[in-house]
Amino acid sequence: MMKCQKISIRALKTTLKCSICRADIKENSTIYQSKTNYGIVCDSCCQNFSEEDIELVVTLFLTYGGYFGKLPKEQFSFHEVLKEIQESVDVKEDSTQILELNTRLLHKSLLHGLYPEQYQAQLKRLVDSHEYGYFL
Q: What is the pLDDT of residues 6-17, one digit of tens each?
A: 555 555 567 788
Check if the beta carbon of residue 59 is closer than 8 Å to that of residue 36. Answer: yes
Q: What is the pLDDT of residues 42-98, one digit of tens each?
A: 889 989 999 899 999 999 999 999 999 999 999 888 888 888 877 776 656 666 777
Q: Is 1 exposed, middle or buried (0-12, 13-18, 19+ CB in 10 A)?
A: exposed
Eight-state DSSP code of residue 73: G
Quick one: 92 and 30 in the same domain? no
Quick one: 135 and 73 in the same domain? yes
Q: Establish if 64 belongs to a structural domain.
A: no
Quick one: 3 and 49 in the same domain? yes
Among the three residues 34, 58, 82, which one is the final residue of a domain in this structure? 58
Q: Establish if 37 belongs to a structural domain.
A: yes
Among the three residues 19, 37, 58, which one is the final residue of a domain in this structure? 58
Quick one: 78 and 107 in the same domain? yes
Domain that holds residue 112: 69-136
Quick one: 33 and 88 in the same domain? no
Is the pTM higher than 0.85? The answer reads no
Per-residue pLDDT, 89? 67
**3-state secondary structure at position 8:** coil
